[in-house]
Structure 1
Amino acid sequence: MLGRLGVGLYNIDLPACRAREIDVIPASGANADSVAEYVLLAIGTLLRGAFAATGEVAAGRWPRDRLIGGRELAGKTLGIVGFGDIGRRVARLAEAFRMRILGHDPLISATHADWSETKTEMVGLEELLSRADAVTLHVPLGPETHGLLSAPQLALMKPDAVLVNAARGGVVEEEALAAALRAGRLGGAALDVFETEPLPPASVLAGVPNLLLTPHIAGATVESNARVSSLIAARVLVALAMC
């Protein structure tokens, strides 16, 4: 068997594992809370826009006039694209901040209890993008989701809206996102995943304003690492006991 210390299986040769009768076991759900918290923290940081002033304040400057235009989470509309386990956890956290919640997931029926239980309004992707003050992505990478948010979709978003991608690189077209941020057609973005990891030299994302970049660590915390390791170890023990 092969234990995956994470959720995504995109970096494992699954056909080769099946051919050799190797069971592949992901740590499903073990880091979902870490990702959900990352998303809300990133959205709050982007909306408030006040947490990068340490150097200025420490140097005796007082950029208060520039930073008093920050926005609150309360009352804002959050759009969640992909309403699986992580998407639902994001919705529950957002509800605690008194955000209005929109959701889009073509794989979940309109009558599914998850929509009402999380107080989420199910809408189409275009409506979600046009209404949301913040958008977060929680979809796998595949032919139908590669470039899901390209220039036409980004153009539907409000000019002061923010975007978070902690799902998979390639879901957002990076060049189109960089262009929208440079032109002021989008309020901000946070990316934890990228088409190529690590980013290549002279990446199109280098030096882009109002852009937060992290190295694929949304699901990695002290607590989630312990949960992931314990879960995989337990499943390995079960598999060995069955041999």
Structure 2
Amino acid sequence: MVVVCEFISESGLERLRRGGVEVYYDPDLWKDRGALKAKLAEATALIVRNQTQVDADLLSAGPNLKVVGRLGVGLDNIHQPDLKARGVQLYFARGINAGGVAEYVLAAMLHLARNLAGAALHVAGGGWNRSAFGGCELRGKTLGLVGLGEVGLRVAKRARAFGMRVVASDPGRLPWESAVEDLEVHLTSTAEVLCASLFVSLHAPLTPQTRHLIRAETIATMPRGAYLINTARGELVHNEDLAAALRRGQLGGAVLDVVDPEPLPAEHVLRGVDNLWITPHVAGLTAEAQEQVGLRVAEGVLSALGVA
């Protein structure tokens, strides 16, 4: 049995069924860990997104598990040493939603620069104050990328097309340095990225070193009125420090597609901040990306199970 405990596209679900395996699909099963563990007793494969914590405790409930499929690229919810210790394979859809996330980042920058939503609401309310909604152009501004993986590189390419200067930091030297050179991306330290950029977009993985990368001390080094975009992991940002910086105008605005925790509680420090816009982890959820992610992971899982 293949247990799918979070949302998967219909195309991915159909591909699993065509493979001739029994499929148990409940997109909300991750919310009830006890019920999930009970289902894993008869499972040979598990497919998750980012909510399910796949660790030794969960794996112990699935003695026949052969593979875990991850509908996405972030792996911080999957404890890989535990999988390796049990001989469980891991399959994830590297790079498929990178284009969608990159386009989200550009949309976020345009939103922050031009505030079309605010201008439209102003007119809907009877106003016509043109001078209040001129905004600024992206052309000539500096975009700082913290993390230059597949998403970061695609953001850089799109930003360069807008005439932006791009600076970036990445903990590892990347295999596409020729592309970085062609795009005229300046590689430097994270500290320099933060202090040099009007727009900062986070694309780093969550590690002990990157947790709360954006906090009071680092925000203080950013240009006053700078903008922050986070499509990576919510834990990269210290919530209280971000809210305070936005309220006092140290940061001009922020767009977060990821928060800590998810979903965001009703009573939370990030709620009610006027120049903060939060979306429900949708940057990579384009129709095109989800169809391909579902198909790719389904095929990887079926291959690991030895079925067509």
> Normalising by the residue count of structure 1, what TM-score does the alignment of the two structures yield?
0.93
Contact 2:89 2:304 in 1 (8 A): no
Q: How far has the Cα of 1:47 moved from its partner?
A: 1.3
Q: How far has the Cα of 1:238 moved from its partner?
A: 2.9
Contact 1:167 1:193 in 2 (8 A): yes
Q: 1:96 to 1:180 in 2, by over 3 A?
A: same
Task: Describe the SS at the equivalent of 2:300.
Answer: helix
Q: What pairs up with 1:2-13 in 2 under 5 angstroms?
A: 2-13=68-79
Give 2:28's aligned residue.
none
Gaps of 5+ in 2: 1-66
| Structure 2 Cα separation of the partners of residues 125 and 33 of structure 1 | 24
**Higher gyration radius (CA):** 2
In the alignment, does 2:230 pair up with 1:165?
yes
In the alignment, does 2:301 pair up with 1:236?
yes
| Equivalent residue in structure 2 for 1:208, among 269, 273, 287 | 273
| Equivalent residue in structure 2 for 1:62, among 128, 153, 158 | 128
Q: Post-superposition, which runs of at least 4 consecutive aligned residues in structure 1 deviate over 4 A? A: none
Task: Describe the SS at the equivalent of 1:51.
Answer: helix
1:78-100 deviations in Å (ceiling 9; x for gaps)? 00110111110110010111111
| Residue-pair matches, total | 242
Aligned AA (2:116): A
Give 1:132's aligned residue.
197
Q: How far has the Cα of 1:209 moved from its partner?
A: 2.1
| Structure 2 Cα separation of the partners of residues 126 and 14 of structure 1 | 30
Contact 1:166 1:192 in 2 (8 A): yes
Give 1:122's aligned residue.
187
| Structure 1 Cα separation of the partners of residues 280 and 177 of structure 2 | 35
> Normalising by the residue count of structure 2, what TM-score does the alignment of the two structures yield?
0.74
Contact 1:40 1:90 in 2 (8 A): yes
Give 2:243's aligned residue.
178
Give 2:143's aligned residue.
78
Q: 1:242 to 1:234 in 2, by over 3 A?
A: closer
Aligned AA (1:165): N
Give 1:43's aligned residue.
109
| Structure 2 Cα separation of the partners of residues 184 and 57 of structure 1 | 25
Task: Describe the SS at the equivalent of 1:205.
Answer: coil
Q: How far has the Cα of 1:50 moved from its partner?
A: 2.9
Q: CA RMSD in A?
A: 2.0
**What is the aligned-residue identity percentage?**
46
In the alignment, does 2:97 pair up with 1:31?
yes
Task: Describe the SS at the equivalent of 2:84.
Answer: helix
| Equivalent residue in structure 1 for 2:87, among 21, 36, 46 | 21
Q: How far has the Cα of 1:111 moved from its partner?
A: 10
1:175-234 deviations in Å (ceiling 9; x for gaps)? 111101100111111111112111123211111121110111111110110110121122
